[in-house]
Amino acid sequence: MTSDDLDLEPEERRLLREGYDALGPPSAKKDFILGALSVRLPGALVPLASDEVTPLTKGGLGRALGAKVAGGLVIGALGFALGMRVSSPASSGDSTHALQPVPREPPVSIPIGSGDAPGALALGELDAEPTTRLDTKVQPAKPGTASTSTESPAEVSFYEELSYIRRAQTALASGNPALALGLMRSLRELHGGGALLAERGMTEVLALCALDRPAEARTVADSVRARSDGSMYVARLDKTCARSGVAADSSDASGGQATSTGQTSKRKE
Amino acid sequence: MTSAEPPTPTPLAFPAIFHECFPLVWRLLRSLGVREPWLDDAVQEVFVIAHQKLPEFDGRVRVTTWVHAIAYRVAANVRRRQGRDGRNVELASEHAIQAHTPEHDALNAESARFVAAFCDGLSEGMRDVFVLCFLEEWGQKEVATLLGLSANTVSSRVRLLRQAYREALRERQGEETGR
Contact A240, A266 (CB under 8 A): no
| pLDDT on residue B105 | 64
* Among candidate residues B51, B59, B2, B80, the one with its CA nearest the CA of residue A106: B51
**Pick among B17, B18, B49 to test the A interface (most A CBs inside 10 A):** B18
Torsion angles phi and psi, residue A101, rounded to 5: -60, 130
Cα separation, A198 vs A231, whole angstroms: 9
Sorted by where each begins, the domain ranges of chain B are 12-89
Contact A179, A166 (CB under 8 A): no
Q: Which pLDDT tens digit goes with each residue over A47-56? A: 543 334 444 5
Which CATH class name applies to B12-89? mainly alpha
Q: Which pLDDT tens digit goes with each residue over A143-181? A: 444 333 343 434 556 667 777 888 888 878 878 888 888
> Quick check: B62 and A36 CB within 8 A?
no
Cα separation, A165 vs A167, whole angstroms: 5
A28-37, A99-108, B69-78: which is most confident: B69-78
Residues in a beta bridge with A140: B12
3-state helix, strand, coil in chain B (%, to 5): 75, 0, 20
Largest CA distance in chain B: 72
Torsion angles phi and psi, residue B68, rounded to 5: -60, -40
The count of other CB atoms within 10 Å of the CB of residue B46 is 29
Helix count and strand count (H, E) for chain B: 8, 1
Q: Which residue of A has its CA nearest to B167?
A: A12
- Nearest chain B CA: its distance from A213 CA (Å): 26
The count of other CB atoms within 10 Å of the CB of residue A148 is 13
Residue type, B155: S
Torsion angles phi and psi, residue B121, rounded to 5: -85, -5
Which of A83-87, B17-21, B77-81, B106-110 is predicted least confidently?
A83-87
Cα separation, A73 vs A33, whole angstroms: 9
Residues in a beta bridge with B11: A139
> Quick check: B49 and A91 CB within 8 A?
no
> What is the residue-averaged pLDDT of chain B?
81
User: What value does the CA radius of gyration of chain B take, rounded to a whole number of Å?
Assistant: 19
User: Which of the 8 DSSP states describes residue A183?
Assistant: H
Is the CB of A140 inside 8 Å of chain B's CB atoms?
Answer: yes
Burial tier of B67 (Cβ tally within 10 Å: 0-12, 13-18, 19+):
buried
Cα separation, B179 vs B169, whole angstroms: 16
- Nearest chain A CA: its distance from B1 CA (Å): 23
Q: How far is CA A83 from each of CA A32, A75, A89, B84, B101, rounded to the nearest angstrom? A: 8, 12, 12, 26, 20
Is the CB of A3 inside 8 Å of chain B's CB atoms?
Answer: yes
Contact B99, A156 (CB under 8 A): no
> Quick check: B15 and A125 CB within 8 A?
no
Q: Which pLDDT tens digit goes with each residue over A171-227? A: 788 788 888 888 888 888 777 777 788 888 999 999 999 988 899 999 998 888 887
Is the CB of B123 inside 8 Å of chain A's CB atoms?
Answer: no
Element (DSSP H or E) covering residue A229: none
Q: What is the pTM of this model?
A: 0.51
| pLDDT on residue B179 | 60
Q: How far is CA A18 from each of CA A22, A169, B112, B115, rounded to the nearest angstrom? A: 6, 43, 7, 9
DSSP B89-115: -S-HHHHHHHHHGGGS-HHHHHHHHHH
